Amino acid sequence: MPLTDVLAADAVISALKAQTKKQALLELSEYASIVSGLSAHEINESLTQRERLGSTGIGNGIAIPHGKLAKATHLFGIFARLDKPIDFESLDGEPVDLIFLLIAPEKAGADHLKALSRVARILRDPAIAQKLRGTHDQAALFALLTQLPTPHAA
């Protein structure tokens, strides 16, 4: 699944200013509301409920908060590069500076899992993560996230 299926060019934030995990989720929910037309409160509530199960901070400065909403008609994401790393209660205890929010319809099933897997694979690539951290340009961030992997020659 290419990330262009879930991430639009205008859904990339190049320097999110947030001091806490709660503030980051709230601001991302507001942004997701603008992009999707869904309620920011409902998005934030879904993300908060998921975080209660365990942090979506997966390590190496990366978090993938996600949730499902009955009113969502399609899977979509918001990417944010934080201005300064924040505590996200990550598995490795390290602060987070790259966040990919993912919202899915309640009945998304396998598509939701495929999208989560794809996002994790991309963000865990050390070369891509380093490039994401090194740019403040929204278009460049979008290009890095949505580039198709090059096949390896045999």
Any catalytic annotation for residue 66? yes
Per DSSP, the residues of 39-69 read -HHHHHHHHHHHHHHS--EEETTEE--EEEE
Please count the other Cβ atoms lying within 10 Å of the Cβ belonging to residue 78: 27
Bridge partners of 16, per DSSP, are: 82
Q: Degrees (nearest 5) of the Cα angle 96, 85, 1?
A: 40
> Where does residue 93 fall: left (phi above 0), alpha (psi -120 to 50 degrees), or beta otherwise?
left
- Note whether 36 and 76 are within 8 A (CB): yes
Catalytic residue among 66, 74, 112, 152: 66
Catalytic residue ranges: 66
